[in-house]
Structure 1
């Protein structure tokens, strides 16, 4: 059915006069009458009773008027919603967090800034490990994810470096090295080092081990933690020491202290991962907002870290 004819019908139904309706629409009266007749033929029912100086709606016309008003309103709402989405002002953004990235102080600032600028966009957060989030992006279950960059390459995702931070040593509160700050990394050479499994955070895992080797020792790997955040209770319980991103130090358990690394400090970058072929304005706006906010609130090295994961 021709949407233009629906609009013409509604104007005539409101004016109950073809000439006035034609003037309001901006066309001549004969073409308007012809369009209404074609609409009646399409429907298979008379919509108007025509008098010499006016028209009135038939019972079928009154029923059709109510439906037509609803159809046009729904269409206008759909058009407006599509335009808001295209402008990045509505819709749903599925956002992932990995490797305790949410502890970084800039992350909630980025989220708050985006929500303030796009109040009609629904943010759906999901916390998981890096490989699971990358799989979610590839499979279309996530749109963007804050991750600790992995070492492996691929061909579907882009990683854009967003934030960078150093790492610190987490010690039991009563540890003999607790009086020293900063500490050389080699000071923990004889300690049990608590790490998470490499398959859930390969980037950080490799960075910590590489720093230890650069400091002149191979670490004694001890208890594994299921994720970065769960390392801290293990340190407090005396299972060993750990090297964690500085932002994880916001977990202030009574049994754990943190010391700056004096020499060979591994880095803990945070990147935004997204599908390389994603043209969503929501994703584009979030990436731009994250870049602007990160520049203001944290150390940042802008640019693309890796293409094609």
Structure 2
């Protein structure tokens, strides 16, 4: 059976007004038309649907069960149609839309929760769709077009090529070690002794520039890291340190991950010796594909820029 042509919004509006007035003359007056065209339009609507929507007698007009069932749906349809122009204007200015944002776990310890709260307060019409992902996963997601922006870790100035970026923070790496480890009792902590210990390290593929900076620090001291275990997530790295699998260099923001049995040592509490190393520093950048961006993403970038160092 051939499907009938769907009525346009004008006909649905005529139906809704007649359903409210239950009088053809008053409904026609509200619609700024004469009664005969309204009567004809409703008759054609009922014919197209194959059901009666109104019961008509000489004294009254009433809704049939089919008409009563349609009325709330038609009202919602009309309301949504009336909202479309405002929605289009809001989307064009970035007041409405979505931003699919990937982020590394370190951002989730401090900055991101506050940004989400404040951005929702400023731009309630923009939905933030969050996905925790390492840098390599984010690059794959950009290639597939499944994210709009990402918050990535990297060595200073070493953000991936082909992406526009905004630096949102810089922090040193700190040493994480088990509270019961023999070195945890030393203060200051000799760096030479640290470099001789097994290391829990993130794989190079997820943070190549930062991985290389850590390895270079060891090489500059005439040694190479003894990687006992690799792990992707910073929380997992800290848990492996707690389990006695080695020491780890992690961004300072990870110190907010309070794992009982793990202590952190900043550079000020390390005895660096005469051959002072360059301790690695990491940057966090908001990145997005180079070129045009959606109005919603532009609004989010401006929001983050206002809360980030120049």
TM-score of the superposition, structure 1-length normalised? 0.70
Q: Which residue of 2 aligns with 1:244?
A: 250
Task: Mark the runs of 5 or more structure 1 residues left unpaired by the alignment.
Answer: 302-309
Q: Write the mapping of 1:33-112 to structure 2, written as runs, cut at 5 A.
A: 33-44=36-47, 49=56, 56-57=60-61, 63-64=66-67, 66-77=69-80, 80=83, 83=87, 86=91, 94-103=100-109, 105-112=110-117
Q: Which digits, 9 at most, give the CA deviation of each residue in 1:240-294, with x for residues without a partner?
A: 43322111122344243312267623221122344557855554444333333x3
SS in 2 for 1:198: coil
Which residue of 2 is the match for residue 307 of structure 1? none
- 8 Å contact from structure 2 (residues 150, 288) kept in 1: yes
Task: Note the C-alpha offset of 1:232.
Answer: 2.6
Q: Which moved more, 1:142-151 or 1:241-250?
A: 142-151
Q: Secondary structure at the match of 2:102?
A: strand
Question: RMSD between aligned alpha carbons?
Answer: 4.0
Write the distance in 2 (CA, Å) between the matches of 1:259 and 1:79: 59
Structure 2 portions without partners, runs of 5+:
1-6
How many residues matched?
Answer: 284
The answer as to 2:278 corresponding to 1:264 is: yes
Deviations 1:99-154 (A, max 9, x none): 53322x22221122234445676655433322123323433444443221485856
1:197 and 2:203 aligned = yes
Q: Check the 8 A contact 1:5/1:36 in 2, yes or no.
A: no
Q: Tell me if the contact between 1:237 and 1:255 (Cα under 8 Å) persists in the aligned partners.
A: no
Per the TM alignment, residue 11 of structure 1 is displaced from its structure 2 partner at its CA by 2.1
Q: How much does 1:237 deviate?
A: 4.9
The aligned counterpart of 1:207 is 213
The alpha carbon displacement at 1:69 in A equals 4.2
Deviation at 1:16, TM superposition (A): 4.2
- Give runs of aligned pairs for residues 155-166 of structure 1, distance below 5 A: 155=162, 157-166=163-172
Residue equivalent to 2:186:
178
Residue in structure 1 matched with residue 304 of structure 2 by the alignment: 290
Change (3 A) 1:15 1:233: closer
The equivalences for 1:199-238 within 5 A come to: 199-212=205-218, 215-227=220-232, 228-238=234-244
Contact 1:9 1:36 in 2 (8 A): no
Q: Which residue of 1 aligns with 2:261?
A: 254
In 2, are the aligned partners of 1:89 and 1:282 still within 8 Å (CA)? yes
Aligned counterpart, 2:3:
none
